[in-house]
Chain A
Amino acid sequence: AQSVTQLDSQVPVFEEAPVELRCNYSSSVSVYLFWYVQYPNQGLQLLLKYLSGSTLVKGINGFEAEFNKSQTSFHLRKPSVHISDTAEYFCAVTPRAPGNQFYFGTGTSLTVIP
């Protein structure tokens, strides 16, 4: 079985400050990892994904995440946040086989303070 833990339900950060949103997962099989962003009253938009290769992946809007297999983590980072980054962020995993469902974390609400 797979599960995803996002320990921080809310993260307030000042504009232009760095941010890290934490994600840990548990799985009995190898997984692919994803971060999605959800702006208010909108759907889920893919930020970035880790399938294989370099453990540091870069996504849209200046975000990046690092896959750490030993710590089963996939933390999301941005060196300098903008007001427009205020949104809900979801970490998700899926087993490395086609057709499997995605397992989502409970989400982290990022609020950027001017």
Chain B
Amino acid sequence: EPEVTQTPSHQVTQMGQEVILRCVPISNHLYFYWYRQILGQKVEFLVSFYNNEISEKSEIFDDQFSVERPDGSNFTLKIRSTKLEDSAMYFCASIGAYEQYFGPGTRLTVT
């Protein structure tokens, strides 16, 4: 069965550093997403990406964040100048037939 993959599984970074979270969506999907889940809280939408551009973004997705699809397979989330409150689980997802397939997540810890 096809699956969404994410790397790394766990990233530890110091406050103020830049991080790039990587995702490989399912190959024939067209819509890609990033979600965030702060420990103990609900899953929150960050951004959706379609046809090589952002189609929707939430209030959380400010200038600190950016997304990119640098080639035909990878989908990245960049967080510039990380803050303590960016510590969370970040999930990538891609959509097929109205069901979003989620990756296993990257746990980001900002110290």
Contact = CB atoms under 8 A, between A and B. Distances in A.
State yes or no: do A and B come from one complex.
Answer: yes
Interface of A: 32, 34, 36, 41-46, 49, 51, 90, 92, 94, 96, 98-107
A98 B33 CA distance: 13
Contacts of A46: 99
Interface residues of B, number: 24
Contacts of A41: 107
A42 B48 CA distance: 22
Contact of B31 (A36, A42, A99, A104): A99
B98 to A, nearest CB: 5
Given A100-B48, A104-B44, 14 more contacts: A43-B104, A43-B105, A44-B91, A45-B102, A46-B99, A49-B98, A90-B42, A90-B43, A92-B43, A98-B95, A99-B95, A101-B33, A102-B33, A105-B42
- The binding surface of chain B is classed by DSSP as strand
Given A43-B103, A43-B104, A106 B42 contact: yes
Nearest to B40: A107
B65 interface: no
